[in-house]
Structure 1
Amino acid sequence: MVARCVAALGLMLASLLSTPAVAGGAILCCENAEGRRVCGDVLPQACYGRAYRRVASDGTVIERIAAPMSEAERIAAEREARLRELEEDRRRMQRLQDRALLDTYRSAADIDQREQRAIGEIERDLAKAKAREEQLRQAQERLQEEAKLHPAGAVPADLTQAIRDNQSELAAQETVIDAKLKNIDAVRARYSRDRERFKTLTATPASR
């Protein structure tokens, strides 16, 4: 009886020894510092910090595990990921802008008409500002001529104040005119960009 138990135990041990140490017969392999292949049922010490592979019993590579990144590589990878994220944000924003552009304009001619109307409104305000500037300049000339009728240092206080007020308003009007001119340039630049982008988006494949 004891002999039979010993024999059975021997068969069990033999069966266990014939079973691969890693499930499915996979082992872990890498190239060591000398470039030689090193394998083991668990990751060999020579593979620490290096890329390695999980290899099946038939030699098929099941999985490749990259080596841990260095600090410099990690920073570079994070930077590349951030750049990809920013680029995707830019492309998403461009798609939204393009959609809005196509929803806003019916045609290139529509863009031209809207530009003309926008500039026309500014030019009407600009004409009023220039007319007011001319009135102020003429008033300034009259005030200066009146001041000349008085001896130096004896110009009446109210006349002196009128000259100062006129000069202040004239300076403000000049600022308004400058802002209107810059506004016209900005409008033209904006509609020019819209026009070019609209043509690009609506161009047929053959004409691109």
Structure 2
Amino acid sequence: MQIHIKRSLIIAITCSLLSGVVWGAEPLRFYRFVDESGNMVISSSIPPHLAAKGGYTVIDDKGRVLEKVPKALTPEQLIEKKQQDLIREALEQQRAQQEARDKTLLTLYSSTDDIERAMQRQLAEIEEKIRTTEGDIRRTQQNKGQKEEQAANVERSGRQVPKRILEEIKHLNSETKRLEKEIERRRNEQEEVKAKFAKDIERFRVLTGEDTPEVPEPVDISKEDLHGIWISGAVSDTKHEMILTKKGSLTWVSNAPSGIRTLRIGNWKSEKQALLVTVNSRQTTDKQGKVALEQTSEQKRYPVKGYQSNIIVLEIEGKAIPFSRSD
């Protein structure tokens, strides 16, 4: 590809060199773009239709890049970008919710023992309610027995059992069933409490690194095991958030300590003891909010060092990074 420098640009650069550099003055801006003949052109202006069609790079009189403006997106790319924006918005919302839950968790508890004790207290409270309900059932059964005995005495005397007694027996039977369902509901509530606190303990360990649970030896990972939202813990300096959909699409956001945020869009699939990722586009945002978009076809394999239902450990750049599944 030939590079054409327009005569007006040469004059402008020459004048700037002859006149010297004014301290604090804005640098001269020139445009580097591809013209309709396929030639690379550097000019002090750019035709609007070429700017929209092919994009351009803004440089100063020393050739330093000041800004890169990508080409206009096709209708298909606009649809894809809209989808990516929606996914990113959902991920940001999910991240904010997770951060709020994490903050609450770290505020309420100082150790996993604290969480265990809180769980036992809640289980004991529910158990006390179950015991009370069991007492209600015993009293209801006693009342029912008394009513049934009254009905039997009436029948033995040759009289018809009053409707009132029959209605009371029917009501006591219904009350017994209701109380039994209440106990069943309380038992289910206990299981939900156990599951919730178990998840809190796992998340607390990920956030603090305290007593990191033993993770099983590497196992064969299926796609069903991996789809969902995964957030890295405090062990990693760079914070990672991944959305792995059932259909195989990938959204991966990384927030580095330097303030640089990287959004990767692509696809994923599971391999024996590994997560395979194909990145189709990468969007990088620096600390000043400047965004750079790059189309790529990058493929990477991340070994799975361990897996549980809500925790996965991936090897990223030589480090074992734990991720926890988010609701």
TM-score, scaled to structure 2: 0.47
- Determine the structure 2 residue equivalent to 1:121: 125
- Deviation at residue 127 of structure 1 after TM alignment: 0.7
42 and 31 in structure 1: CA distance in 2 versus 1, 3 angstrom threshold: closer
Q: Which of these two proteins has the greater Rg computed from alpha carbons?
A: 1
Where relative contact order (Cα < 8 A, 6+ residues apart) is larger, the structure is 1
More deviation in 57-66 or 137-146?
Answer: 57-66
One of 134, 158, 183 as aligned partner of 1:177? 183
2 CA distance for matches of 1:55 and 1:198? Answer: 48
Per the alignment, residue 110 of structure 1 pairs with 114
- Residue identity opposite 1:66 in structure 2: P
Which residue type is aligned with residue 56 of structure 2? R
Between the aligned partners of 2:85 and 2:152, the Cα distance in structure 1 is 74
* Secondary structure of the corresponding residue to residue 96 of structure 1: helix
Matched, 1:80 2:84: yes
1:14-34, Cα deviation, whole Å (9 max, x unpaired): xxxxx71799475664254xx
- Check the 8 A contact 1:140/1:166 in 2, yes or no: yes
Match of 1:193 among 164, 189, 199: 199
Residue number in structure 1 paired with 2:137: 133
Change (3 A) 1:83 1:158: same
Confirm whether residue 167 of structure 1 aligns to residue 173 of structure 2. yes
- Name the counterpart of 2:253: none
Deviation of 1:190 (Å): 1.6
Q: CA–CA distance in 2 between the matches of 1:173 and 1:57? A: 81
Give the whole-Å Cα distance in 2 for the aligned partners of 1:44 and 1:106: 60
| Cα distance in 1, alignment partners of residues 8 and 165 from structure 2 | 110
Identity, in percent, stands at 21
What's the RMSD between the two structures over aligned residues?
A: 3.8
> What's 1:20 paired with?
8
CA contact (8 A) 2:56 2:71 kept: no
Residues 1:54 and 1:48: Cα distance change in structure 2 (over 3 Å): closer
Tell me: CA distance 1:201–1:73, structure 2 relative to 1, closer, same or farther (3 Å): same
Structure 1 residues 23 and 90, CA gap change in structure 2 (3 angstroms): farther
Q: Counterpart of 2:103?
A: 99
**Structure 2 SS opposite 1:161:** helix
For structure 2, the 5+ residue unaligned runs are: 1-6, 14-29, 211-234, 236-318, 323-327
Compare the two structures and name the one with the higher strand fraction: 2
